[in-house]
Chains A and B, each alone.
Chain A
Amino acid sequence: MGHNDEYQKLEGKIFTKSFFILLFVVLVGFFFVGVRYVKGIGAVSNMSDGYPWGIWITYDVATGTAIACGGYAVAILVYIRNRMQYHPLIRSAILTSMFGYGLAGFSVMVDLGRPWNAYNFFIPSKWQANSAMFEVALCVMAYSTVLIIEFLPAILTTIETTKWERIHKIGEWLHPRIAPDAQNMANRLEWVKVGAAWLKPRLNKVLIFFIVLGITLPTMHQSSLGSLLLIASTKLHPLWHTGFLPLLFLINCVFIGYAIAILESIISCYSFKRPFEVEELAGLAGLIPWVTVIWLSVVVGDLVNRGQMGAALKLDFYSGFFLTEFLLVGIGSTILFSRKNRRSPRWLFVSAAMIVLGGALYRFNVYLIGFNPGKGWRYFPSFAEIMITVGIVALEILGYKVFVKIFPVLPNAAKHGGPNRHDGKTAPIAAGSMEFGK
């Protein structure tokens, strides 16, 4: 017995129709990645010396990691605010973060002009602590590692209990001779299982320190993602260029993180036909307005302070994008102020989607839309550029769909979300909702 019953694998076939559709999109994206490496970045993208950063940085890195902040936001909630009843949500949040960050790292390698020199990040004499990007790069690499460690318990559980049937089948399908002799293989796998069983309790003891590291690192690099644009004081529109960029980016990723955790839960419950986790989600949704109110007031306060309110209400191109971003977040949060809406999957979905869109638009505004390098420069992503990004997103979804079927990630539907649950005051999911620290 123990905590394993808190999560469960999703039963079902891996190779579904949607699997192959996603795979096709991924392959198209990777075809263009190939073209990029052979013919140069200019051959696939519309980036230019005026707009040296396109959607790969703006979406995959700056926005994608914010959307991947579900793991971060839920971890704060569970371990810092001590709301253990949200614990069932954490594995899927961490899994999404793992894919989000891993693939952000991947797209950086696509975007870098000279990726073979990236090892310089590990050479102290090359370090350049003035650079916000240096900070972002180190933190993101460290955080990706931490995310993998945080996800390890799920993997170890599977290794411990699996019978490796699938591996056997694949081996046999490839070639009967490749498939090792069953007894031999069973012995070796037994060894792996013993190893996993040995590692798990030890990992559980120190896991909390990694989890806290997993809260500290995003706090650092999410604010530094805002710092990246501080230097572009002549290029970034004054609606967005402010000394508060680091703070705004930090708060922004927190509310995007909560909203995406809601969206993700609703979408996966809907598509996997599981009961909606309304209790957890309603509580989560109640937090969002608190965070967005801080964000919205820093935005407004800062605009007033810098005398830019006029620019915000000018109703020109820039003001239009600013107001859209502001209203999406504002209205989305207003919906969540109502207790009734917080319990309706429909309204939860609508408001969380608005908040994610608004929060993401903010990052697009800072990195791309509000960025004006001067006369004559223009940027709109090329087809290939978009397909690379879409391919990466498809890979994220694909990975998520496969992982939830292999590893125990989703909350155990039998243990919570059942029909007899009463309102938010329920005790934390009883026996052994704790993962570690014992």
Chain B
Amino acid sequence: MKNKSRREFLKLVGVTGAGLLTGAATASGSEGLHVNNEEIGMLYDATKCVGCKACMAACKRVNGDYGSLSYEKAKFDPDGLWDAPTDLSGSTRTLIKLFKESESRWSYVKYSCMHCQKPSCVSVCPVSAMTKDKVSGVVDYNKNTCIGCRYCQVACAFNIPKFQWEKSIPQIVKCDLCKNTNLREKGISACAEVCPVGAIKFGKRKDLLQEAKTRLRENPDKYIAHVYGEHEAGGTNHLYLASMPFNKLGLPDIKPQAPAEFSEKIQHTIYKGFIAPVALYSTLCFIAVKNMKKHDKTDDHDKRKHDGEER
């Protein structure tokens, strides 16, 4: 073992070297994400929201039957008169919650898909069941393609896609901005349409962003000086204004770089043009075939002798 070890070690280094290179190459430069402000989205102003939950009801009414997503009734109410979800789920795409710090300091908050500029769920879906519309920017889900791997749930930094755990034929559920229902019929998402106090503004991202900044400028005391979603995770089309720190409202602190950018950069470096795998395969073939021949030669002598004995 010892006398041959240097050559063998070099060979080992060669093989692992291919792997090392792929890992090391990840440090290469970043191209940065181009934000498309023409996409549509919503601006939710938590200071205006009165917590009436009309948006939730509208969402369920409009989307209830679409895509076989029949909304569930609460377990304690067999007549289906009362549906009071406590969280987003396989039957709830949007939800109003209340955060109460003290008697005088509280805020409502609305949860739904953030419609990221660079959505993680789209990036990770192995079969293109999650897609982002090139024009509207709506992140949509197709149950007819989905294999139910739930990688989108693992990937989403906002924990938005939900799965129907209790069904034998389950699907992923998330807001699609009423893409196939209210948006198609009336040009506006159902939640924004019914909001009685204008807490949800629907429109193009650039207009929403401008509006948000105007509100911040005009009422600096009322708001936290930050538009949530402007830069988070590479920018989202669902923007937030609030009077309380966003992480208290259940909106996670997320860096401006889209998680999908980071992972795709590494994945692309490894598999660019399929060069590395093909190179690896051919190199290994070369080594293995050479080894076989070498081995054959040394082996042949033995073999002949052995065969001779047989006869």
Contacts A41-B165, A126-B127, A126-B145 given: A234-B254 contact, CB under 8 Å?
yes
B262 touches A137 (CB 8 A): no
Cα distance, A433 to B303, chains bound together (Å): 10
* A116 CB to nearest chain B CB (Å): 9
Asked whether B254 lies within 8 Å of A1 as measured between CB atoms, the reply is: no
A43 to B123, CA, bound (A): 30
Q: How would residues 103 to 130 of chain A score, 1 for a CB under 8 Å from any chain B CB and 0 otherwise?
A: 0000000011111011011000111111
Establish whether residues B170 and A40, one from each chain, have CB atoms under 8 Å apart when the complex forms: yes
**A130 close to B123 (CB less than 8 A):** yes
Contact A212 B151 (CB under 8 A): no
Q: Which of B20, B267, B295 contacts A82 (CB 8 A)?
A: B295
Among B155, B169, B281, the residue within 8 A (CB) of A232 is B155
Q: Name B259's contact: one of A134, A212, A232, A433 (CB within 8 Å).
A: A232
Contact with B along A27-67 (1 / 0, CB 8 A): 00000000001111111010111101100000000000000
Q: A40-B164, A228-B151, A230-B266 in contact; A216/B126 too (CB < 8 A)?
A: no
The reply to whether B1 and A286 form a contact with Cβ atoms under 8 Å apart is yes
Secondary structure type dominating chain B contacts: helix
Q: Decide yes or no: A247 and B126 within 8 Å by CB, A47-B165, A227-B267 being known contacts.
A: no
**Chain A CB within 10 Å — which of B27, B148, B169, B277 has the most?**
B148
If A40-B164, A234-B157, A234-B259 touch, whether A128 touches B148 (CB-CB below 8 Å) is no
Contact A246 B124 (CB under 8 A): no
Contact indicator A223/B22 (Cβ below 8 Å): yes
- CA gap between A41 and B167 in the complex, in Å: 7
**B145-184 Cβ-contact flags toward A at 8 Å (1 or 0):** 1111111011101010111111111111000000000000
Asked if A227 and B149 make an inter-chain contact with CB atoms under 8 angstroms apart, the answer reads no
Q: Which of A83, A120, A130, A133 contacts B145 (CB 8 A)?
A: A120
- Minimum Cβ distance to chain B for residue A307 (Å): 16
A135 in the interface (beta carbon within 8 A): yes
Q: C-beta contact mask, B111-151 vs A, less than 8 Å → 1, else 0?
A: 00000000010011111110000000000000111111111
Report A114 CB to chain B, min CB distance, Å: 4
Known contacts A209-B285, A215-B284, A243-B262; A49 and B153 CB within 8 A of each other: yes
Interface locus among B10-18, B97-105, B237-245: B10-18
Tell me which residues across on chain A come within 8 A of B84, comparing CB atoms.
Answer: none
Q: Chain B contacts of A215 at CB under 8 A?
A: 284
Residue of A41, A137, A219, A244 near B280 (CB, 8 A) is A219
Decide if A300 is an interface residue (CB 8 Å cutoff): no
Q: For the complex, give the distance between the alpha carbons of A361 and B128 in Å.
A: 32
- A432–B27 Cα distance when bound, in Å, is 48
Per the bound structure, the CA–CA distance linking A114 and B143 in Å amounts to 9
Chain A contacts for B168, CB-based, 8 A: 37-40
Interface 1/0 per residue, A202-231 and B, CB below 8 Å: 000000110111011001100110011111
Q: B79: which A residues are within 8 A, CB to CB?
A: none
Is A223 a contact of B285 with CB atoms below 8 Å?
A: no
Q: Which residues of B contact A337 (CB under 8 A)?
A: none
Segment from B51-59, B187-195, B200-208, B286-294 that makes contact with A: B286-294
Which chain A residues numbered 76 to 98 have a C-beta less than 8 Å away from chain B? 76, 79-84
Flag if B281 contacts A212 (CB, 8 Å). yes
Q: Shortest beta-carbon distance, B162 to chain A, in Å?
A: 5
Distance in angstroms between the alpha carbons of A224 and B263 in the assembled complex: 11
User: Is B16's CB under 8 angstroms from A131's CB?
Assistant: no
In the assembled complex, A250 has its CB within 8 A of some CB on chain B: yes
CB–CB B252/A374 < 8 A: yes
**In the assembled complex, A174 has its CB within 8 A of some CB on chain B:** no
**For the complex, is B260 an interface residue (Cβ under 8 Å from A)?**
yes
Q: Report Cα–Cα, A137/B126, bound state, in Å.
A: 9
Asked if A120 and B166 make an inter-chain contact with CB atoms under 8 angstroms apart, the answer reads no
In the docked arrangement, what's the CA distance between A396 and B151, Å? 27
A438 within 8 A of B: yes
Residue of B whose beta carbon sits closest to that of A302: B23
Using CB atoms, name the residue of chain A closest to B87.
A49
Task: Report the separation of the CA atoms of residues A428 and B302 in the bound assembly, to the nearest whole angstrom.
Answer: 11
Bitwise interface map of B from 219 to 259 toward A, beta carbon under 8 Å scored 1, else 0: 00000000000000000000000000000000010110001
**With A121-B126, A228-B151 known to touch, is A132 a contact of B267 (CB < 8 Å)?**
yes
Q: Which of chain B's residues has its CB closest to A432's CB?
A: B303
Q: Once the chains bind, are B170 and A133 in contact (CB under 8 Å)?
A: no
Q: Does B299 contact A (CB under 8 A)?
A: yes
- B123 touches which of A76, A127, A131, A290 (Cβ 8 Å): A131
Question: Does A155 sit at the interface, judged by CB under 8 A?
Answer: no
Contact call A244/B148, Cβ cutoff below 8 A: no
Contact with A along B1-38 (1 / 0, CB 8 A): 10000001101100110111011001100000000000
Q: How far is the CA of A250 from the CA of B270 in the complex (A)?
A: 13
Chain B residues with Cβ below 8 Å from A213 are 281
- A75 nearest CB neighbor, chain B only: B288
- The distance in angstroms between the C-alpha atoms of A251 and B285, with both chains bound, is 21
Contact in complex: A114, B254 (CB < 8 Å)? no
B306 at the interface (CB under 8 A from A): yes
- Cα A39 to Cα B164 in complex, Å, equals 11
Q: Complex formed: what's the CA distance from A224 to B151 in Å?
A: 14
Is A434 part of the contact surface with B, judged by Cβ < 8 Å? yes
Cβ of B307 within 8 Å of any chain A Cβ, yes or no, is yes
Q: How far is the CA of A83 from the CA of B1 in the complex (A)?
A: 10
Q: Which chain B residues border A47 with CB–CB below 8 Å?
A: 165
Say yes or no: is A381 at the interface (Cβ < 8 Å to chain B): no
A-B contact list, 14 entries, CB within 8 Å: A42-B167, A80-B11, A80-B284, A81-B12, A114-B143, A117-B147, A126-B128, A128-B127, A131-B123, A131-B126, A230-B263, A430-B299, A430-B302, A433-B299
**New A-B contacts (10) at CB < 8 Å, excluding given A80-B11, A231-B259:** A49-B89, A53-B154, A82-B8, A84-B295, A121-B126, A128-B126, A231-B262, A243-B262, A431-B306, A434-B295
A contacts, CB < 8 Å to B: 1, 37-43, 45, 47-50, 52-53, 76, 79-84, 111-115, 117-118, 120-121, 125-135, 137, 208-209, 211-213, 215-216, 219-220, 223-224, 227-235, 243-244, 246-247, 250-251, 283, 286, 290, 294, 373-374, 424-425, 428, 430-434, 437-438
Which 3 A-B residue pairings sit nearest by Cβ, starting from the closest?
Answer: A113-B148, A42-B165, A247-B23
